Structure 1
Amino acid sequence: MSQKTRGMKVGILTRNEESWCSMQLKGSLIKYGASPICFRFRDLVAKVGFKPEFSMGETDVLADLRAIIVRPIGRGSLEEIIFRMDLLHRLKRLGMYILNPPSAIERSADKYYALSLLEEEGLPVPRTVVAESAEPPSLSWAGMSSLSRSSDLEG
């Protein structure tokens, strides 16, 4: 057990605190003397113009937690997903250490975006065609080993 982690409160942002991955994270944190606190996005309250900026129940997130481990963002409407990402960005700007930071989630959640970033950095990527419709007249599928609709590439 490390003196640095003893008593440290670490948030686990998860959809299901009883899932295998959440249980593994909780067990590891406890093993190193930290106190895991599981919560969901819907448990968070965000405030602008007064404090605490983020709370869940009686917990002042910025004052009481040393870090947040982000598990899946989960399904939601466009507005819900954008709000969740905005929450994570603001938490990070205000000094919260976030494992799986919002920029990494944004880059990896959309496979098209991830592949295009890799290609722009000069890394080899598989030839890929992405369209919302499988039949756009401007696309040539010749020579393609895999085809995807944009909805197939998310998550």
Structure 2
Amino acid sequence: MSLRIAIVTDDPGWHGARLRAAFAARGCAVRLVSLRECRLETGPGAPGVWLPGFGGRLPDGVFVRGVPGGSLEEVVFYLDILHGLRELGVPVVNDARAIERTVDKGMTSLLLHRAGIATPPAAVVTGAGEARRRVLEARARGGELVCKPLFGSQGEGVVRVTEPDQLPPAAACRGVWYLQRFVPVAGRCHDWRVFVIGGRAVAAMRREGEGWVSNVARGGRCEAALLDDTLRSLAEGAVAALEMDYAGVDIIRDADGRAWVLEVNSVPAWKGLQSVCSLDIAAALADHCLRRCAGAPAALEALP
């Protein structure tokens, strides 16, 4: 009997098509699922978590390609669906715990620092006065800060700050400022994206931007990169510290050549990386997910 796999996404696009084809090529029955359409259901004969297209039964595995935004209550509910699936014995890649650790940049920085992973010093503060004080402290040391949305990706809303007046207003960052030390590099702005699956770094690319942000989504150019020992060990260590099935790890080297982990993405895009590497990334992700399914206890079909 073929395994039933749910791919969680609201915008299948290129990535959803690649994943669907990879799972189908391995004999799986695949369904694209939006968390907006899922339900928590308890009571006699109820599945606990209901997903559309599975006839009231639980899937054999879930691959998370995207979590929709919304109100606090909506986002908590979407994550509760993923938490519930895990509690019911369904392998979820990446699960809600990993997503929570990485969608929140402050928690990511804390956990990386705690694990001894080289990551630029960061502070998360409330209050415009405290944020301004941090900028002045950095300026006094001859440094700069990068202010990022606490929840955000693809370089959107990122601001390089040298003066307090450059800080986003409270309304723009919802009263919370995430401030990370700016890491200057030698030459044009560039960094590395390392893709880790199942604890192993499998591919990497070098990204170079026109300005100081090098994300591919912001116009950065990508090229294949050699996975040297430093990139490999730093990326694998970061993913291990955050307990993730797979991730895109952004690494930068400062002007002295020291490598730092900037961010870890639990729902990374890989279209740019796929264009410069020979590994079939969707196939590798599907294989890892299926290995998780094979090693998991049978999912509970219903709550008592």
The interval holding the TM-score normalised by the smaller chain is 0.7 to 0.9
Residue of structure 2 equivalent to 1:46: 40
Residue of structure 1 equivalent to 2:96: 102
Mind listing any 5+ residue stretches in structure 2 that lack a counterpart? 153-304
Residue of structure 2 equivalent to 1:13: 8
Q: Would you say the 8 A contact 1:129–1:147 is kept in 2?
A: no
Cα distance, 1:146 vs structure 2: 2.3
Question: How many residue pairs get matched?
Answer: 145
Q: Residues of 2 paired with 1:101 and 1:44: CA distance?
A: 16
**SS of residue in 1 equivalent to 2:138:** coil
Q: Would you say the 8 A contact 2:35–2:68 is kept in 1?
A: no
| Cα deviation 1:68-93 (Å, max 9, x = unaligned) | 11111121111111111112111101
Q: Would you say the 8 A contact 2:2–2:28 is kept in 1?
A: yes
Residue of structure 2 equivalent to 1:141: 138
Select 1:89's aligned residue among 79, 83, 89: 83
Q: Residues of 2 paired with 1:141 and 1:27: CA distance?
A: 49
Q: Residues of 1 paired with 2:4 and 2:54: CA distance?
A: 14
**SS of residue in 2 equivalent to 1:147:** strand
Q: Which has the higher contact order (CA 8 A, sep 6+)?
A: 2
Q: Which amino acid in 1 is paired with 2:62?
A: I
Moved more, 135-144 or 73-82: 135-144
Instruction: Considering fraction of residues, name the structure with more strand.
Output: 2
Work out the percentage of aligned pairs sharing the same amino acid. Answer: 27
Q: Would you say the 8 A contact 2:8–2:32 is kept in 1?
A: yes
Q: Would you say the 8 A contact 1:130–1:148 is kept in 2?
A: no
Mind listing any 5+ residue stretches in structure 1 that lack a counterpart? 1-5
Residue of structure 2 equivalent to 1:80: 74
Backbone CA RMSD of aligned residues: 2.0
**For residues 57 and 9 of structure 1, do their structure 2 counterparts lie closer, same or farther at Cα, with a shift above 3 Å needed?**
closer
Residue of structure 2 equivalent to 1:60: 56
Q: Residues of 2 paired with 1:89 and 1:61: CA distance?
A: 17
Q: How does 1:109-148 map to 2 (within 5 A)?
A: 109-132=103-126, 135-136=129-130, 138-139=133-134, 140-142=137-139, 143=141, 144-148=143-147
Q: Which amino acid in 1 is paired with 2:150?
A: L
